[in-house]
Amino acid sequence: MPNEQTLRAQVRDFVDTVLLPLEGRYLNEPWAAVVGALDGARAEARARGLWAPHLPVAMGGCGLSLLDFAAVSEELGRTPIGHYALNCQAPDIGNMELLHAHGSVAQRKQWLGPLARGEIRSCFAMTEPERAGSNPTWLEARAERDGDDYVISGHKWFTSAADGAAFAIVMAVTDALAPPHKRASQVIVPTTTPGYSLVRNIKVMGDAGEGYATHGEVRFDKCRVPVTNRIGDEGEGFTLAQARLGPGRIHHCMRWMGICERALDLTCRHAATRELSPGVVLGTRQSVQHMIADSRAEIDAARLLILETARQIDAHGAAAARESVSTIKFFAAGVLQRVLDRAIQVHGALGMTDDTPLAYWFRHERAARIYDGADEVHKSVVARRILKGYGVVVRE
Amino acid sequence: MPNEQTLRAQVRDFVDTVLLPLEGRYLNEPWAAVVGALDGARAEARARGLWAPHLPVAMGGCGLSLLDFAAVSEELGRTPIGHYALNCQAPDIGNMELLHAHGSVAQRKQWLGPLARGEIRSCFAMTEPERAGSNPTWLEARAERDGDDYVISGHKWFTSAADGAAFAIVMAVTDALAPPHKRASQVIVPTTTPGYSLVRNIKVMGDAGEGYATHGEVRFDKCRVPVTNRIGDEGEGFTLAQARLGPGRIHHCMRWMGICERALDLTCRHAATRELSPGVVLGTRQSVQHMIADSRAEIDAARLLILETARQIDAHGAAAARESVSTIKFFAAGVLQRVLDRAIQVHGALGMTDDTPLAYWFRHERAARIYDGADEVHKSVVARRILKGYGVVVRE
Amino acid sequence: MPNEQTLRAQVRDFVDTVLLPLEGRYLNEPWAAVVGALDGARAEARARGLWAPHLPVAMGGCGLSLLDFAAVSEELGRTPIGHYALNCQAPDIGNMELLHAHGSVAQRKQWLGPLARGEIRSCFAMTEPERAGSNPTWLEARAERDGDDYVISGHKWFTSAADGAAFAIVMAVTDALAPPHKRASQVIVPTTTPGYSLVRNIKVMGDAGEGYATHGEVRFDKCRVPVTNRIGDEGEGFTLAQARLGPGRIHHCMRWMGICERALDLTCRHAATRELSPGVVLGTRQSVQHMIADSRAEIDAARLLILETARQIDAHGAAAARESVSTIKFFAAGVLQRVLDRAIQVHGALGMTDDTPLAYWFRHERAARIYDGADEVHKSVVARRILKGYGVVVRE
Amino acid sequence: MPNEQTLRAQVRDFVDTVLLPLEGRYLNEPWAAVVGALDGARAEARARGLWAPHLPVAMGGCGLSLLDFAAVSEELGRTPIGHYALNCQAPDIGNMELLHAHGSVAQRKQWLGPLARGEIRSCFAMTEPERAGSNPTWLEARAERDGDDYVISGHKWFTSAADGAAFAIVMAVTDALAPPHKRASQVIVPTTTPGYSLVRNIKVMGDAGEGYATHGEVRFDKCRVPVTNRIGDEGEGFTLAQARLGPGRIHHCMRWMGICERALDLTCRHAATRELSPGVVLGTRQSVQHMIADSRAEIDAARLLILETARQIDAHGAAAARESVSTIKFFAAGVLQRVLDRAIQVHGALGMTDDTPLAYWFRHERAARIYDGADEVHKSVVARRILKGYGVVVRE
């Protein structure tokens, strides 16, 4: 196992030499046309010992701590195909972490193994179109006990990467009368289960996508699966979802930092070469300089905040770091959006095209301020925890 | 000719009853699949006497003043297909205004007539990939005089709607040694001219588009056209381009106001109906309320500023209103971006989808702060004019 | 009576020639040292026929409509001593308008006459230190009926200009069991009344001030006044306070526009003359240019919004314009703060000194986003009214 | 010498128990009335071993590294009188550091000793009213060699704490023909020198102040001092000024973090206790929650960025950290201003008063974005250094 610095350098080199040459194809061709080349990159990653950096060595991964993986995640974030190439892409990474920590021996064998080896993909079905995401305990989907089975019915969307997934992990209410945070459970539903259907790949920002690069609307119509497909105890669904979010937000936030670094790098390259008149480059403009400086400062500050949070989680667990985890979510998402906006502005018309990855990120990462808890939700979470220290218990 | 209030109400009704039902198809289907229905809407517009509101009655239009057309443009802006349906879409509207004001009798007969009747489409080839748009006098394209012809060579992009256009009006240098603002002329080049080629429909924000809904990269390789295809005098190209921008910016800015009104309307509908928990709607949240109020205030302020500028142009001409025209460009573009961003935030995951027009506008109207002069350019223009009043002549 | 354009020009000239030369003294000397000169300016204003522009001609004023007074208020706002010089300074102007519209004949004779002639000053005691201003119906002060008298007790602060005032108009609860908006009444309490005391001139932003330029903390300890000192009917206090706010906000907002114009003028003068190196002035800097352009745009937009609201009030009354009145309050206050902040930034160290009025406004006008309803309150008011149109009744 | 954690706790306790009870007097009484109590606090600090934490133990200080002092500076920043009480207030701390690192033996004996013991105060005369601070090499002040003396003439302002200072260190041109960065030298001028005069304590944000709490306008009219009063070599003035700024900015930035923490603490206390209606506190409002969360995130991010920079300076010297030092200057100043603005907004009218330190900081710390290099200057510095890495040399 390489040390963190070496590994990071290796990942950086892998991104620069293997992935960046593929990036343009990913941005401009359909998934089906590119997936072969991506699988080649995956093979190369495996050959270089970079595969599944988040997983234990025993499972074929690199066994990184959260802090060390954070650095790798940033490097991978520099291109939209980075995480996929190393098999640490959402939502599979979260599903792997979940199964690794909470799956039964049988579940791990049947589902985690193939996932870890990159033989299958998976999805996570939580968000419902009829229910506000800001109230995650209020779900319509039901998993009703019938003997040794659950019979699951529900309507989900933003089930990312459902297209082509071998199984879904679905959040469904198992006891509607329990206290709100104890109502739901997480259950594995193979996508071959009768009653399961992928309604559509939702057109998101103009793009329905294909295969991995999709957000599915799915229906569970009396899907029958054995009770042993439940992950953890009954009623633990919400708790498991929360546990998933701590490290998951570190992954995302560091991925965003990678996006930011790339966007700033592209900005500087453009500013350094684009001429306004013969011999006078864009970077001589004070407005461009100030955008570069603002982005530099915000990225550096955000990264330190994220790494400090990763350190807290590594040292004390995700629960102890909940306020910090909420803080980095909205803070880093805000930085991401501003950095991308500045990058496009400096690029001018070019920034609107798919000749750079900026436009891709601009439109798809707009979701960063929405998914996994909107900014507004996280800010209130942080404030209520702070105010608790002043003796005030505030409910939303 | 109906009066302005009546006409506005008629346009509003036309948008609500004819266009909004088509909008979802435009957002989710290819141009070729929708253009038939859009042509049907065009016929209906003509039947209702709403056709080409910007053109004189004698040319089959409504003969509106700039101020009256502004109100119509806002109504049409409420849907992405509004302006097309009434044949007042960019870039054709600008080309029609140009030919009407500065075209020769022959040019008007050959090109303006069919444009005004909606029989053909056109494009405007000005921006060059190798030259910064912020310096519009620095062009590579050349129109060299050869007897009674121009021989035109050049490379252009963001030639919107080039796909399917019958002719392009191209900005090309006719005298490289003239003072910067006298170097270029505008020349009509039929797209059937040998040497003309549409290289590609540029993929913009993930979408290469088709037909009208495109931004072309085009090449002119020794295109030979008669000198009589030049619009106005030789060397007047930049002046004509400037003249085009005054009313053009009013059109755009009011179209943005229509977008803003629709976005705010969708925001309020969602806030009024989306439940966070049984019986508690999103609109009870202070953060949502404040977004609504901020958008309301900014839209109202921006509209008044635009209408005041239209009034100035109607009364004193575009030249006298240059500072105001620059001001509304960056001010309204900023409002547009913030209003759309808030609308998406309030919509949550739904805002990311193409189930509403918000995502379409969010990605395509990002260009509003770039085209026709980036914010940074307009702000400097405004400031330099103000500072001139203090005795300072500041060159960029 | 001069027409509006003439009057405005006369007021402008009065400000430029009479008041600006006095301004530095106001900013740097105690009130007592300057009041003599200010009274001289008042005499001059009267001589020029500019006195009390808001009052009817019959009362010695100019009889301006709200819209016409708005233009005058902007001119006066260009200096901190403008409104005082014409006897239309808050809170006296509000008290005059109140007494004129709702005072009894006796009240008008005893209190409005001398106020209108500038012989006395007055104050308005509403805000209480122990009660949040955002809930104006929740007051501690009590006016208890005792025969033909009220016995008033209460604790107020931010009773502006209490120092030297001849009387206070106090908001006090007359019926604690009435519905919230019917509990309080407004009663005139001469400051010579036993039990009335000015506890202190509150030190506000470092400055306790003196005379007119103060914010008082006052106590009413069983102040006995005749019931005839009540303005309007019992329980009407809140309604009268609301009615006061409509025109009052126009006054304030236009005064802020005057501040903004002056701040921008100072900014441009400084940018046009301050050298960064020999021959290179500050105004060549893009960042300075952009601050100038942003301020120009925001001021123009805000002014149009305010004037449109004044037009609504003149045409349909303050009640019909409530949403607009709330909108301009927070929108214009935000513009004011940003314009002042930019002006100081461009001035550098000079902006921190009292050698210009910028520092005075920066600190004292910070209150603009707080008094007469904080931004947060107004935004919610606006949004709730909008959402009512969508069928949602939202209580805070 | 206590370890850093212990020392920090001791300083915190000292601030809480000794300084906070004095703070209200500092905010509301003249310097002369408070200085006795402050000197008592100084004696107490000395008795507790907290004196001059930035100085070596041998000089009576605590011998802290820059990083350790950073933590102490933050604690002291929680009250406006913190740094003074421990004799590490600007500009004396900078002068002490300068004399310690670059002063001759004689200079250290005569001036540093008494400064370190708190027996005298000093000032630093650099900024000139006629010259833009953003061009620090363009100075009017002259130190002309005359035998073994310099004869110094010049006009300075924002010479902080000049009132009562025993000596000034003045930046003056010693060779007008040298390259810009080699023109000036720093020379010690006792304030008893004939020709030296304190013209005025500049009224800054309404407050001319007295004694230490002042910003002086000073004149040097042919002040004759021995050449041995020069610090370092001739022409080194600018280099020494730069060297001063690295650690100085860490001090300032961490002091700002202390201000921010106090402002946020006051905000939370107010939000937790201020009732909007019986039993409903301000902290239940989402807008207040979001302000708290935004401030929390920004403060934490800024602090990490500052500490990282302190670490760089401790490890590699100020020169190696120049980009970071510029970055924290503008980033932290921006955070400071936003945190204070939010704190005042949450406090409402109370925030405008001097009953809390918020209003003091709001007005005086507005200078944070101006002094020691305006935001605009630092942003361009950062961007130009970044762009140099892309092969572009950009001059302002």
Tens of pLDDT, residues B156-196: 999 999 999 999 999 999 999 999 999 999 999 999 999 99
Say whether A352 and B207 touch across the interface (CB within 8 A): no
3-state secondary structure at position D29: coil
Say whether C379 and B283 touch across the interface (CB within 8 A): no
Residues of chain D contacting A382 with CB distance shorter than 8 Å: 289, 292-293, 296-297
D395 in reach of chain C (CB within 8 A): no
Confidence band of B244 (pLDDT split at 50, 70, 90): confident
CATH number at residue A87: 1.10.540.10
Which residue reads 């500045």 in tokens?
A342
DSSP one-letter code for D108: I
Tokens read off for B160: 């919107």
**C-alpha to C-alpha distance for C63 and C52, rounded to whole angstroms:** 9
Mutate to test the interface with A, among B346, B376, B381, B382 (most CBs of A within 10 A): B376
Per-residue confidence (pLDDT) for residue C242, from 0 to 100: 86
Within a domain: B115 = no
Kindly state whether residues C226 and C279 are assigned to the same domain: no
**C-alpha to C-alpha distance for A369 and A15, rounded to whole angstroms:** 26
Per-residue confidence (pLDDT) for residue A5, from 0 to 100: 81
Kindly state whether residues B40 and B95 are assigned to the same domain: yes
Within a domain: B396 = no
Nearest CA in chain B to A372: B349
Tokens read off for B269: 């509908």
Which residue reads 């004070």 in tokens?
A286
Distance in Å, alpha carbon of A206 to nearest chain B alpha carbon: 6
- With left for phi above 0 and alpha for psi between -120 and 50, is residue D135 left, alpha or beta? beta
Say whether B276 and A376 touch across the interface (CB within 8 A): no
Per-residue confidence (pLDDT) for residue C77, from 0 to 100: 98
Asked if A128 and A85 count as a contact pair (C-beta separation under 8 A), the reply is no
Which residue reads 């302006």 in tokens?
B83
Burial of A334 (0-12, 13-18, 19+ CB in 10 A): middle
Kindly state whether residues B249 and B365 are assigned to the same domain: yes
Tokens read off for D62: 């605590």
Distance in Å, alpha carbon of B325 to nearest chain D alpha carbon: 28
Amino acid at B80: P
Asked if C20 and C79 count as a contact pair (C-beta separation under 8 A), the reply is yes
- pLDDT above 80: residue D1: no
Kindly state whether residues C257 and C205 are assigned to the same domain: no
Q: Tell me how many domains chain A contains.
A: 3
Q: For residue range C215-238, what is the model confidence (pLDDT) as tens digits?
A: 999 999 999 999 999 999 999 999
Q: Give the 3-state DSSP-derived string for chain A, with helices as H, strands as E and coil as C.
A: CCCHHHHHHHHHHHHHHHHHHHHHHHHHCCHHHHHHHHHHHHHHHHHCCCCCCCCCHHHCCCCCCHHHHHHHHHHHHCCCCHHHHCCCCCCHHHHHHHHHHHCCHHHHHHHHHHHHCCCCCEEEECCCCCCCCCCCCCCCCEEEEECCEEEEEEEEEEEECCCCCCEEEEEEECCCCCCHHHCEEEEEEECCCCCEEEEEECCECCECCECCECEEEEEEEEEEEEHHHEECCCCCHHHHHHHHHHHHHHHHHHHHHHHHHHHHHHHHHHHHHCEEECCEEHHHCHHHHHHHHHHHHHHHHHHHHHHHHHHHHHHHCCHHHHHHHHHHHHHHHHHHHHHHHHHHHHHCHHHHECCCCHHHHHHHHHHHHCCCCCHHHHHHHHHHHHHHCCCCCCCC
What mean pLDDT value characterizes chain D?
Answer: 95
**C-alpha to C-alpha distance for B250 and D161, rounded to whole angstroms:** 55
Q: Point out the domain boundary residue: D231, D257, D274.
A: D231
Least confident of A206-210, B73-77, D134-138: D134-138
**C-alpha to C-alpha distance for C124 and B59, rounded to whole angstroms:** 64
- Show Cβ contacts of residue A26 under 8 Å, excluding neighbours closer than 6 positions: A34, A38, A80, A81
Kindly state whether residues D254 and D382 are assigned to the same domain: yes
Kindly state whether residues A244 and A349 are assigned to the same domain: yes
Q: For residue range D25-37, what is the model confidence (pLDDT) as tens digits?
A: 999 999 999 999 9
Per-residue confidence (pLDDT) for residue B1, from 0 to 100: 47
**C-alpha to C-alpha distance for A158 and A201, rounded to whole angstroms:** 9
Q: For residue range D204-232, what is the model confidence (pLDDT) as tens digits?
A: 999 999 999 999 999 999 999 999 999 99
Mutate to test the interface with C, among B264, B392, B395, B396 (most CBs of C within 10 A): B392
DSSP one-letter code for B141: -
The DSSP code sequence of C339-390 is HHHHHHHHHTHHHHBTTSSHHHHHHHGGGGGTTTS-HHHHHHHHHHHHHHTT
Residues of chain A contacting B330 with CB distance shorter than 8 Å: none
Within a domain: D247 = yes
Q: Point out the domain boundary residue: B214, B231, B248.
A: B231
Backbone angles phi, psi at D326, to 5 degrees: -65, -40
Asked if C271 and C346 count as a contact pair (C-beta separation under 8 A), the reply is yes
Q: Which of D269, D271, D386 lies nearest to residue A296, judging by beta carbons?
A: D386
Amino acid at C154: G
Mean pLDDT for back-to-back runs of 10 residues, chain A (396 residues): 79 98 96 95 97 95 93 98 97 96 97 97 96 83 97 97 98 95 96 98 95 97 98 96 86 97 98 93 96 98 97 91 94 98 97 97 97 94 96 73
Reference B297, options D23, C332, D334; nearest CA is: C332
Asked if D229 and D172 count as a contact pair (C-beta separation under 8 A), the reply is no
B20 in reach of chain A (CB within 8 A): no
- pLDDT above 50: residue D119: yes
**C-alpha to C-alpha distance for B296 and B289, rounded to whole angstroms:** 11
Per-residue confidence (pLDDT) for residue C133, from 0 to 100: 75
State which H helix or E strand residue D37 sits in.
helix D31-47
**C-alpha to C-alpha distance for C161 and C168, rounded to whole angstroms:** 10
Tokens read off for A375: 């900014």
- pLDDT above 90: residue B135: no
Pairing of strands B149-160, B142-146: antiparallel
Within a domain: D114 = no
Backbone angles phi, psi at C117, to 5 degrees: -85, -5
Q: Point out the domain boundary residue: C198, C231, C264.
A: C231
Q: Give the 3-state DSSP-derived string for C100-148, with helices as H, strands as E and coil as C.
A: HHHCCHHHHHHHHHHHHCCCCCEEEECCCCCCCCCCCCCCCCEEEEECC
Preceding amide of C91 cis, omega within 30: yes
Within a domain: C108 = no
Reference A345, options A335, A359, A360, A365; nearest CA is: A359
Within a domain: D148 = yes
Kindly state whether residues B376 and B277 are assigned to the same domain: yes
Burial of A349 (0-12, 13-18, 19+ CB in 10 A): buried
**For chain D, what's the residue count?**
396
**C-alpha to C-alpha distance for B181 and A112, rounded to whole angstroms:** 67
Per-residue confidence (pLDDT) for residue A1, from 0 to 100: 47
Asked if A370 and D252 count as a contact pair (C-beta separation under 8 A), the reply is no
Nearest CA in chain C to D377: C287
Within a domain: A342 = yes
Distance in Å, alpha carbon of A302 to nearest chain C alpha carbon: 25
Q: Which of B138, B203, B282 lies nearest to residue A353, judging by beta carbons?
A: B203
**C-alpha to C-alpha distance for B71 and B253, rounded to whole angstroms:** 11
CATH number at residue D178: 2.40.110.10
Q: Which of C289, C384, C394 lies nearest to residue B384, judging by beta carbons?
A: C289
CATH number at residue A370: 1.20.140.10
Rounded to a whole number of angstroms, the CA Rg of chain A reads: 21
Q: For residue range D301-313, what is the model confidence (pLDDT) as tens digits?
A: 999 999 999 999 9
Pairing of strands D167-173, D122-125: parallel
State which H helix or E strand residue D198 sits in.
strand D196-201
Kindly state whether residues B199 and B276 are assigned to the same domain: no
- With left for phi above 0 and alpha for psi between -120 and 50, is residue D165 left, alpha or beta? beta
**C-alpha to C-alpha distance for B224 and D318, rounded to whole angstroms:** 64
b/e D26-36 (16+ beta carbons within 10 angstroms → b): bbbeebeebbe
pTM, full prediction: 0.97
Domain interval for residue D219: 122-231
Tokens read off for D313: 């300076």
Amino acid at D96: M
Say whether B348 and A206 touch across the interface (CB within 8 A): no
Kindly state whether residues A155 and A280 are assigned to the same domain: no
For B65-74, what is the mean pLDDT? 95
H helical segments located in B48-112: 66-77, 82-85, 92-102, 105-107
**C-alpha to C-alpha distance for A162 and A121, rounded to whole angstroms:** 8
Q: Which residues pair with A213 in a beta bridge?
A: A210
Please tell me which chains touch C, using 3 or more CB pairs under 8 Å as the contact test: A, B, D
Within a domain: A110 = no
Nearest CA in chain B to C267: B387
Burial of C29 (0-12, 13-18, 19+ CB in 10 A): exposed
Per-residue confidence (pLDDT) for residue C319, from 0 to 100: 85
Residues of chain D contacting C129 with CB distance shorter than 8 Å: 350
Q: Say how many C-beta atoms besides its own lie within 10 A of residue B317's C-beta.
A: 12
| Between A336 and D242, residue with greater pLDDT | A336
**C-alpha to C-alpha distance for C158 and C128, rounded to whole angstroms:** 8
Kindly state whether residues D284 and D364 are assigned to the same domain: yes
Reference B288, options B305, B307, B270; nearest CA is: B270
The CA-atom distances, in angstroms, between C287 and each of A162, A311, B102, B380, C268 are: 48, 39, 38, 9, 13
The residue ranges of chain C whose pLDDT is under 70 are 1-2, 395-396
Mutate to test the interface with A, among C276, C282, C286 (most CBs of A within 10 A): C286
Kindly state whether residues A350 and A272 are assigned to the same domain: yes
Backbone angles phi, psi at D3, to 5 degrees: -75, 170
Q: Which of residues 299-318 of D touch A (CB under 8 A)?
A: 300-302, 304-305, 308
Tokens read off for B108: 């008007």
Kindly state whether residues D358 and D250 are assigned to the same domain: yes
Say whether B394 and C283 touch across the interface (CB within 8 A): yes
